[in-house]
């Protein structure tokens, strides 16, 4: 079982919709989680990170962790065409980390006008 599982989608929504992106994880040893955004033919960029203590909000984006169900979510409010990208959840890798991250498969999101 992968440490992080993510539904690859693709997900297509109209502009203005609320988007929910989700991941499940299997190792509870680490206490922070990250969301990276990757535009087409670009490298991933850190969008948000959150510690496993509730929600974190940044503009239209909210990251949420549910420790009891080992579920992490990213919500996008008032989605825009510019939000069209692949979204990757990540967490520190198990064992001796050395800063390694384990990524989910990525969810491809398209927001159409």
Partner 1 sequence: NAGVTQTPKFRVLKTGQSMTLLCAQDMNHEYMYWYRQDPGMGLRLIHYSVGEGTTAKGEVPDGYNVSRLKKQNFLLGLESAAPSQTSVYFCASRPGLRVNEQFFGPGTRLTVL
> Which segment (10-18, 55-63, 71-79, 93-101) binds partner 1 by CB under 8 A?
93-101
Cβ closest to partner 1, residue 2 vs residue 77: 2
Closest alpha carbon to 76 in 41, 111, 31: 111
The pairing of strands 107-112 and 11-14 is parallel
- Site residues (CB under 8 A) for partner 1, limited to 41-70: 41-46, 49
101 sits near partner 1 (criterion: CB under 8 A)? yes
- Give residues with Cβ within 8 angstroms of 79, minimum separation 6: 13, 15, 16, 17, 18, 19, 60, 111
Minimum gap (Å) between residue 31 Cβ and partner 1:
11
Binding site for partner 1 (CB under 8 A): 6, 8, 32, 34, 41-46, 49, 88, 93, 97-101, 103-106
């Amino acid at each position: 079982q992968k440490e992080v599982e993510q539904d690859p989608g693709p997900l297509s929504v109209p502009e203005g919709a609320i988007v929910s992106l989700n991941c499940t994880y299997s190792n509870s040893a680490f206490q922070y989680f990250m969301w990276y955004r990757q535009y087409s033919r670009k490298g991933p960029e850190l969008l948000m990170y959150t510690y496993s203590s509730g929600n974190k909000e940044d503009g239209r984006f909210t990251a949420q962790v549910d420790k009891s169900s080992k579920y992490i979510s990213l919500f996008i409010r008032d989605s825009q065409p510019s939000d069209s990208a692949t979204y990757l959840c990540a967490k520190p890798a198990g064992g001796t980390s050395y800063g390694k991250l384990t990524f989910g498969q990525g969810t491809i999101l398209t927001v159409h006008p």
